[in-house]
Amino acid sequence: MSRIAYVNGRYVSHREAAVHVEDRGYQFADGVYEVCEVRDGRLVDERRHFDRLARSLGELRIRPPMSRAALGIVLRETVRRNRVRAGIVYLQVTRGVARREHAFPPSSVSPSVVVTARALDLAGRDSTAEQGIAVVTVAENRWPRVDIKSVSLLPNVLAKEAAHEAGAKEAWFVDAEGYVTEGSSTNAWIVTRDGKILTRPADHGILRGITRTVLLDVIAAQQLTLEERAFTVEEAYAAREAFVTSASQIVMPVVRIDGRPVGNGAPGLVASALRRDFHRHAELG
Ligand code: PDD
């Protein structure tokens, strides 16, 4: 079956899907995106993803390309046309196509919208979760507004590549004070020896992950102790458990940090229980 992409009002063959060379997303990374999990062909936490999209657009003063309802229809139609039952849908909105000038183009320029969908290998993801993943730490080198889900991801790309070259699946950014901020495409968590779950507060230093937000509800429902505070790399090395969260990974146990085993080197009980219960708390659209 051939894949389909939505590009500026049309459903086109994925192979031929293209944007203009002067799209500001292409030239300046002047755009934002969302990644939403698809489960049983339905969108997971659509409302929260749309809220975050609206915030990202607002922070960058990009005009919403269409109503939420219309965008919801496009996401669903893209999922349907690609026959995705379990996977992800990707939405990107840029400031549009205009002659290359750094300052904003005239308000007559319409934002560009691209939507793609693809299946994920759930069995593969589950077996990865049973093994756990390795992470490496890298120096935080991103701009101070990573709370905006911008397509400007070069430091994240370099960090993920560094992880892969070190035989790891994810990289954790560490700020100048030695505190972990987040992963290159995930939020970072640890469980301390005395059973406290730690994750950095969602200020401007991290992306407020939707998976992170839902997980706070799961943690409350399981009556676990949460401390929203930054933790150091040293605390992470000494942790009983560690894990990362994102729409495509849900809760993924971390079993090695910079080559050192976390806890006993196997996925932890807390991470596994949170992963198991996650979808009971997520909204299915
Ligand atoms: N990444 N932090 C960063 C830097 C991210 O890129 C992501 C998401 C997250 C987790 O957010 P959420 O739980 O809403 O997925 C945290 C997406 C999945 C991506 O870039 O593919």
| Ligand 1 centre distance from Cα of residue 150 (Å) | 11
Q: Which residue puts its alpha carbon closest to atom 6 of ligand 1? A: 185
Nearest atom in ligand 1 to the alpha carbon of residue 249 is 18
* pLDDT in single tens digits along all 285 residues of the chain: 799 999 999 999 999 999 999 999 999 999 999 999 999 999 999 999 999 999 999 999 999 999 999 999 999 999 999 999 999 999 999 999 999 999 999 999 999 999 999 999 999 999 999 999 999 999 999 999 999 999 999 999 999 999 999 999 999 999 999 999 999 999 999 999 999 999 999 988 999 999 999 999 999 999 999 999 999 999 999 999 999 999 999 999 999 999 999 999 999 999 999 999 999 999 998
Q: Which residue puts its alpha carbon closest to atom 5 of ligand 1? A: 185
Average per-residue pLDDT for the chain:
97
| Ligand 1 centre distance from Cα of residue 106 (Å) | 31
| Ligand 1 centre distance from Cα of residue 69 (Å) | 23
Residues with CB under 6 A from ligand 1: 35, 156, 182, 185-187, 207, 209-212, 245-248
Residue of 141, 147, 158, 187 best suited for mutating to test ligand 1, as the one with most atoms within 8 Å of CB: 187
Q: Counting beta carbons within 10 angstroms of the beta carbon of residue 46, is it exposed (0 to 12), middle (13 to 18) or buried (19 or more)?
A: buried
pTM for the model: 0.97
Per-residue pLDDT tens over the stretch 166-182: 999 999 999 999 999 99
**Residues annotated as part of the active site:** 149
